[in-house]
């Protein structure tokens, strides 16, 4: 009987976690196709005017963010239009982009949010943000 209760509780917990992930992902993706929030006070005018900018929202204490560190460093070294945003130091920018979990990657092209990726991503998928 106890084993049955444990299985039911685990299943309920799994459903709750999956529902939260779905809700967070859907909320973040609502920005896609919309005008990007103002970046002028965060980025230099030169960077804000670039045709393509990828914002990477992270938290230094986030395990998933730490696992992406090498891939992100490689991309940032090759693509100067990748901007790293530490949500603990720039919470107002995270709020503008409705970032409630990390990591989040936001592709902005010509002032429009084109793509939002939430959570762990394969390096190839991240690379695609720069060639879409």
- Per-residue pLDDT of 14-27, as tens digits, reads 766 566 566 655 55
70-120 pLDDT, tens digit per residue, is 999 999 999 988 999 999 999 999 998 989 899 999 999 888 899 999 989
Spell out the domain ranges in the chain. Answer: 2-128
- Strand pairing class (112-118; 82-86): unpaired
The DSSP element (H or E) to which 39 belongs, if any, is none
Task: Evaluate whether the domain defined by 2-128 bears CATH number 3.40.50.720.
Answer: no
pLDDT of residue 62: 95
pLDDT of residue 70: 93
Q: Give the Cα separation of 131 and 112 in Å (integer).
A: 16
Confidence bin at 38 (pLDDT 50/70/90): confident
Highest mean pLDDT among 30-39, 48-57, 107-116: 107-116
Mean pLDDT on 32-59? 78
């Amino acid at each position: 009987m106890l084993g049955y209760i444990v299985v039911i509780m685990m299943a309920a917990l799994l459903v709750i976690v999956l529902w939260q992930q779905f809700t967070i992902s859907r909320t973040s993706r609502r920005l896609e196709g919309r005008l990007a929030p103002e970046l002028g006070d965060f980025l230099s005018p030169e960077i804000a005017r670039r045709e393509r900018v990828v914002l990477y929202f992270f938290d230094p204490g986030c395990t998933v963010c730490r696992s992406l560190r090498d891939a992100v460093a490689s991309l940032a070294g090759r693509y100067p239009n990748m901007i790293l945003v530490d949500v603990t130091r720039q919470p107002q920018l995270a709020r503008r982009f409705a970032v409630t979990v990390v990591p989040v990657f936001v592709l902005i092209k010509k002032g429009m949010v084109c793509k939002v990726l939430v959570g762990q991503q394969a390096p190839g998928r991240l690379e695609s943000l720069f060639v879409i």
